[in-house]
Structure 1
Amino acid sequence: MPQYAKLQPKVRRSVDAAVAKFAEHTHAGLHLEKISNARDPRIRTIRIDQFWRGVVLAPQKGDVHCLLAVMPHDDAITYAKSKKFSVNQALGVLEVRDQVALEEMSPALEKVAERTNFRLLGHVFDKDLVRLGIDRELIPLVKLLTEESHLQAMEKLLPEPQYIALLALAQGMNVQQAWDEVAQCLPVEEKPKAVDPDDLVTAMRRTPGKVVFVNGPEELRDVLAHPFDMWRVFLHPVQRRVALRPSYSGPAQVTGGAGTGKTVTALHRAKFLAGRGGRVLLTTFTRNLAEALEKQLSLLVDDEDVRGRIQVKNVDALSYSIVGRHHKPGIAGADVLEPLWEEAAEGTPFSPTFLEREWEQIILAQGLESEEEYLGCTRAGRGVPLGKAQRSVVWRAIGHVADGLAAEGRSTFHQLANEAAELVRRPEYDHVIIDEAQDIHTAQWRLLRRLVAEGPDDLFIVGDPHQRIYDSHVSLASLGINVRGRSTKLKLNYRTTQEILTWSVPLLGHAPAHGLDDSADTLDGYRSPMHGRRPVVKAYPDMDAELDGLVEQVRAWLDAEVEPGAIGVATRYVWVARKAARRLKEEGITAYQVPSKSPGVQVGSMHKMKGLEFRCIAVIGADENSLPSAKAITPEDEDPKAHAQDVQKERCLLFVASTRARDHLYVSYAGSPSPFLPG
């Protein structure tokens, strides 16, 4: 589906027509052409038009045919001749390898092997390789390897499960450990009892993350009508195992880097639990993320009764609605808060930002209601120690803000969450699913905890601490939410190419992220099976020239028949987004600011891009004055820990923006580049 979604619209229409004609023809085989000298005799091709051909796998058993790829004629023939399909004898799943490329590699490996007695996998018995699913035909080639780099060069040529097993063994793992590595990326935890090497259809059905089955022309039309949307709600094997698990004994957590399918997993979990009759709350941090969840859920759930049992609401709207049952809340915006914090800081040694963070991260987070409680509390996470006298000064200063808000009948959303939590007298849902959990504030977590009774399948928590772009640093254990033993880490990125990942991951720096379960979180093993072009980084003398470059790049994507809505433009500042959208419109390119439901190029701040994805992303304004943003950084001499956290948030923002791209990433800056950009 991802490859089909990338095809130009006119090519997709030709594919639809060819497949429909094939499906309607009584003697379907007449439309398929055999390939001479093909490594797999079951491979066929089908004519799409004068230029494009489809590659088809025609299993010998049954009447199922699988459309594998649509390519220009010569590329399709090359693909069809070189690929070989098989059934993994340990896992029972369908696999494909580039047989021609492996054969061409063999003489070079033989020459290298002649110069040494060492073999990378010489210590592994053939029977153990077979137990791990290594194809018997590949074992002689595998046994020639003398260096891990040679194995890594084979990654694109080998089936993924086999490569994972071989790499694990090469890195010193034993056979059981290698099996555990393979099982993490597949829908099976135990080997099937019997595997028929000739039954490709059964193998396809065991490979739900790779093959879409359709049972008739209407179902086929539905799938092909929304290729991009279908791909977004498509479960890959490890996601399927997590989302459709019959039950968890308590709160469960799913983490993983950008594009690993955490949100898709959350959506399917919501459908699964609602399908069993449960009342489900699906919540996230911002309104536009909640709207995106609503849209995807409408594609995924077509049963009105099941859909009716799932409520989608971002956590601020949830707080507002609960408090609104008792009185109409008044929300304080920046126009109210900023003057109050300025006044509060006058005459104290503390800045308005320091006081506001102390209030948010300590007082509201811990639900402290008196000066005595504040004087005795712990301040974990804050970088500047405060004595009792200093705490008294802080308490009085913060009290000035709280009193000012109360006088106007207003509150912040975090205050509202605390109030809502107090108003919840009994559980209102059977299951609560939280997406983008890393950005949820402690006060909001208390509310969510009270909305569902403790027990099996109560909380399903999805997030990535490497995408933390707000000030929330939560310990679930401190809230009585224990996910140990019920945590899954997704490592495969199905959205972004490896080339984009290789460029983007270093943006995060070297320090591990702090996970919600109090453990360090790294991106070890995070990778993509997809490959494409390297990101493009361009420098310009000034912003006008940079915007000219943006117009040129967007126009090039449009000329390549990328749909306007599949193009995103991300900036650090809202005012730059406005300027970029205006310039695109002046040049005749339809563009809208995020969030927008209108079809056109989507332009927005990096914060607004969270949770969205596009075929092509242009990240503009990546200069030293914008990333990091000086306004968003606490001075190091005021609070070194807050300073470090702020810098990391800025790194995360750039990482989030860059990993919205599926196929193409373009980054630009005027003047000097951001220090975050790779050298």
Structure 2
Amino acid sequence: MPTIVWPSNKPKDATRKDPSLRSKIGPFLTKLSAGTTSAGLHVEPIRESVDRRVRTARVTDFYRAVLFELDGDGQLVYVIHGIWPHDEAIEIARSVTVGINPYNGIAQVFDVRDATGQDAHAVDKARRDARRRLDAARREAEEIAREAARLEAGNAEARRRVEAGSAISLPPRPGAESRAPAPRAEAARPGVVVTTRDDRPVWPDGLTVESLRDELGIDVRLAAAALAATCESELLDLAATASPSWQGEALLALATGTSIEGVREDFELLHPQEVKAEPTDAEVISGLRRRASRADFTWLETDEDLRRAIEGLTFAQWQLFLHPQQRHLVERHSNGPMRISGGAGTGKTVVTVHRTAALARRMTEMEQGSARSHTARRGRGGQRTGTARILLTTYTRNLADDLSRQLAQLAPGIAFAEKVDEPGVLVSGLDRVARAILQRAGESIAPVAERVLGRRRTRILAYAKNDLWGDVLALTGEGLPANLQSADFLASEYELVVLPQHVTTLQQYLRVRRPGRGVALDRRKRAEVWAAMERYRDRSAELDVTSFAEQLALAAAWLDAEAKQDRARPFDHVLVDEAQDLTPAHLLLLRALVEPGPDDLFLAEDSHQRIYGKKITLSHYGINIRGRSRRLTRNYRTTRQNLRAAFEILDAGSYEDMEGRAEEHRYISPRSGPEPVLLHAGSRAEELDLAAQLLRGWLSEDSEQREAGAETIAVLVRDRYRRDAVVTGLAERGIDVRPVDREAMGRGRPVVMTMHRAKGLEFRKVLLFDVSEASIPRALRDQQYSDADYADALLRERSLLYVAATRARDQLAISWSGQASPLLEGLARKG
């Protein structure tokens, strides 16, 4: 069948003015995919056109599509430009051409009537017109927002009718056609509205209109307007209205820290000297396949592609959107471990899930060509054939379940594995993987346990029911210096220093390096600490128990021992989401699960969201990235107002990524919405009153606007005790909410959950409750043995609040009674 290339972004054609036309697109695509001889299609060339390849084709008696017919080495490729009324379509077809950008090799459709020069005169004119372009972009962005609101309202109404089993068409609400997504019913919302900052874009040094044109092929009019933007919101409006859209995305990447060369790599741009002056059809098709062009065009190459397009018509309904930078990370071949980082909502999980599916698909294609010798699995001694063995993992079970659902939705035919070493994709937490490996090891774990724990043990699968470190401290604590008499210090020293380096004797501990621990230990102090370590190990052996970290370390060591005997590692590829929360023992197991080599490890992390483990560096545990890391900077979930409020929480902290480098938080969001609201109460009862008033207003707004269900509203708190108290307090004030722990959220009521439980989720409206000075947990007091550990624990608290704030998609409110938490210092001053 001919290949169809369809506009990914909604074209400015008749489908914007006549929604009924969308129902005609399916039959049109079906006919076109069958070939030009299909009855009634009438694919015809246009006289006096600037491009000999342009055609029009009949969609209805009134509408015709404008498209280009390209020869892909004997395979027809139709590039759809848009759909217009018959006479308008003919006029447009005469003036459009599909070609190659001479600066970068990217294919795009040009209208000669709108074409402008790129020379010095054009640059000067573009600079003079920059402000006018920015103002026009703002107006267009506002219209896009209004259109999005109309579409969302229509979608919500359709969902309600389906759920209610009703086909009744309800009349539009007064004013709904012109309503943009903005704050509604302000009078119903208590508290102080905080105005967040709107900073000037930060560009790479020396960036000019000319360099954007010459290095990346960005239109001089767009480049001049971007450099003239005085604040982030102006740049975001401009990028949202850029055509082709990839150029706006490239500008946003530059404004958030990506280099010129990084943009060229992400968007798959050529250098000017690599672009031919008169490209052939095949070269235009090649240009259409580059990542930048694929931001604007979707390829319909298979029956499944066509079916989804016909059924959905809106590609976002069936294809998780991939920005060109994300697509590059999905498709990239890596010679070793690879790391991506990015703030909340930047699409790290989307990239990880897509890359998992892509690796599975790639391995399947290799196996289908089994006659070729390179289809054999890499690995030491364990050469094997069959479906790839891929592990997709993360820190918590809830997140792992979410990953499994997303992968099944993205790739319905993917083969899932049920256990370790089984062909297919295993989606599992690492703790579960470790236990499976230890169960397989059986009695052979004894010599490994002796090397790792200093005790020859075989009973290692039970967990301690009590706090063994507390017991050890009670028995041996008096021998420790006062500042080291801390269960947290002993546990951290064991898991960060002793266990990962397989320290089993005092002599080893006296010599071992302790990077980043923040507490200097001389020989005497080390001996005293080691006595506590020995007591802990003796007590664990007496009880036949191990910790999670010990099981991870034992599983890793056993796999390494097996590999030395030329036995295969369990997986071909391992991908990790939320890697910032992993411990050293987790990293040891990751490294042991897959043989070092191409595309072995892929880690997605955000050091700003580290809410569990201590700060660690990958290279200390055998995972060497060596430049194979990239950063995502565009937030797809949270409005820019909520995102800026979250950054206010982070600003006072100093963060490092998993390679030990300073972590930036320069992220942007194209979505705009209401400013955050601060609720300051004099007492807990008053805070509950304000929370009830806020939720009542939100629920009323949603009822009037016929928005999504009440379960898209969340109250987030620091711990389960506060959760239960809030549920009771709101019920006393007439607000029925649902407490959520491990179970699913259910429907019909707002939810109340801990900030930890909310990680990985999103809600339309979020209230952070009891962000007071008293809410800083008592656990911080256990860090007093070290300024460094106290500072790191405080960073984790900032991260937790940042994670909670970025769960809000549209609206964010923060409440406290008494004194505000010091973590809110920036926001509270404004309130």
TM-score if structure 2 supplies the norm length?
Answer: 0.63
Match of 1:619 in 2: 768
TM-superposed CA distance for 1:374, in Å, is 1.1
Alpha carbons of structure 1 residues 583 and 299: separation in structure 2 relative to 1, 3 Å: farther
Match of 1:279 in 2: 389
Match of 1:157 in 2: 238
Counterpart check, 1:345 vs 2:477:
yes
Alpha carbons of structure 1 residues 602 and 409: separation in structure 2 relative to 1, 3 Å: farther
Give the conservation status (yes or no) of the 8 Å contact 1:484–1:517. Answer: no
Structure 2 distance, partners of 1:195, 1:341, is 76
Counterpart among 623, 647, 661 of residue 794 in structure 2: 647
Counterpart among 345, 350, 353 of residue 267 in structure 1: 353
Give the conservation status (yes or no) of the 8 Å contact 1:23–1:217. Answer: no
Structure 2 distance, partners of 1:360, 1:340, is 15
Equivalent residue letter for 1:449? R
Counterpart among 598, 612, 622 of residue 456 in structure 1: 598
Structure 2 distance, partners of 1:104, 1:444, is 49
TM-superposed CA distance for 1:632, in Å, is 3.1
Match of 2:721 in 1: 575
Q: Secondary structure at the match of 1:617?
A: strand
Structure 2 distance, partners of 1:292, 1:464, is 18
Structure 1 distance, partners of 2:520, 2:294, is 54
Match of 1:332 in 2: 464
Give the conservation status (yes or no) of the 8 Å contact 2:134–2:238. Answer: no
Counterpart check, 1:629 vs 2:793:
no
TM-superposed CA distance for 1:272, in Å, is 1.2
Give the conservation status (yes or no) of the 8 Å contact 1:164–1:181. Answer: no
TM-superposed CA distance for 1:457, in Å, is 0.9
Instruction: State the Cα deviation string for residues 51-84 of structure 1 (Å, max 9, x = none).
Output: xxxxx997666795879xxxxxxxxxxxxxxxxx
Alpha carbons of structure 1 residues 142 and 130: separation in structure 2 relative to 1, 3 Å: farther
TM-superposed CA distance for 1:95, in Å, is 11
Match of 2:400 in 1: 290
Give the conservation status (yes or no) of the 8 Å contact 2:771–2:820. Answer: yes
Q: Secondary structure at the match of 2:415?
A: helix
Give the conservation status (yes or no) of the 8 Å contact 1:498–1:532. Answer: yes
Counterpart check, 1:564 vs 2:710:
yes
Match of 2:627 in 1: 485
Q: Secondary structure at the match of 1:576?
A: helix
Q: What does residue range 388-537 of structure 1 map to in structure 2 within 5 Å?
A: 388-424=523-559, 425-426=562-563, 427-523=569-665, 525-537=666-678
Match of 1:10 in 2: none
Aligned residues: 593
Q: Secondary structure at the match of 2:809?
A: strand
Equivalent residue letter for 1:298? A
Structure 2 distance, partners of 1:289, 1:369, is 35
Equivalent residue letter for 2:544? G
Equivalent residue letter for 1:574? R
Alpha carbons of structure 1 residues 309 and 337: separation in structure 2 relative to 1, 3 Å: same
Tell which structure's C-alpha radius of gyration is larger: 2
Alpha carbons of structure 1 residues 549 and 434: separation in structure 2 relative to 1, 3 Å: same
Counterpart check, 1:660 vs 2:807:
yes
Alpha carbons of structure 1 residues 598 and 608: separation in structure 2 relative to 1, 3 Å: closer
Give the conservation status (yes or no) of the 8 Å contact 1:251–1:459. Answer: yes
Counterpart among 361, 364, 369 of residue 499 in structure 2: 364
Structure 1 distance, partners of 2:578, 2:628, is 18
Q: Secondary structure at the match of 2:328?
A: helix
Structure 1 distance, partners of 2:794, 2:206, is 47
Instruction: State the Cα deviation string for residues 123-164 of structure 1 (Å, max 9, x = none).
Output: 95769637644435568x759x8x662797454134276567
Instruction: State the Cα deviation string for residues 526-557 of structure 1 (Å, max 9, x = none).
Output: 22222222222211223333334334434414
Alpha carbons of structure 1 residues 16 and 591: separation in structure 2 relative to 1, 3 Å: farther
Structure 1 distance, partners of 2:728, 2:357, is 40
Equivalent residue letter for 1:310? V
Q: What does residue range 62-101 of structure 1 map to in structure 2 within 5 Å?
A: 64=80, 89=101, 90=104, 91-92=106-107
Alpha carbons of structure 1 residues 302 and 205: separation in structure 2 relative to 1, 3 Å: same
Match of 1:237 in 2: 324
Match of 1:374 in 2: 509
Counterpart among 135, 141, 144 of residue 219 in structure 2: 135
Percent of pairs with identical residues: 30
Over the aligned positions, Cα root-mean-square deviation in angstroms equals 4.4
Structure 1 distance, partners of 2:792, 2:786, is 10
Equivalent residue letter for 2:752? V
Counterpart check, 1:301 vs 2:411:
yes
Equivalent residue letter for 1:671? G
Q: Secondary structure at the match of 2:670?
A: coil
Structure 2 gap ranges (5+)? 1-8, 10-16, 32-62, 69-77, 84-97, 115-128, 137-204, 364-387, 418-422, 443-458, 564-568
Give the conservation status (yes or no) of the 8 Å contact 2:616–2:658. Answer: yes
TM-superposed CA distance for 1:481, in Å, is 1.9
Equivalent residue letter for 2:805? S
Counterpart check, 1:319 vs 2:406:
no
Give the conservation status (yes or no) of the 8 Å contact 1:267–1:297. Answer: yes
Which region of structure 1 is more displaced relative to structure 2, 323-332 or 353-362?
323-332
Structure 1 distance, partners of 2:18, 2:427, is 34
Structure 2 distance, partners of 1:394, 1:128, is 59
TM-superposed CA distance for 1:287, in Å, is 1.3
TM-superposed CA distance for 1:563, in Å, is 2.4
Alpha carbons of structure 1 residues 653 and 170: separation in structure 2 relative to 1, 3 Å: closer
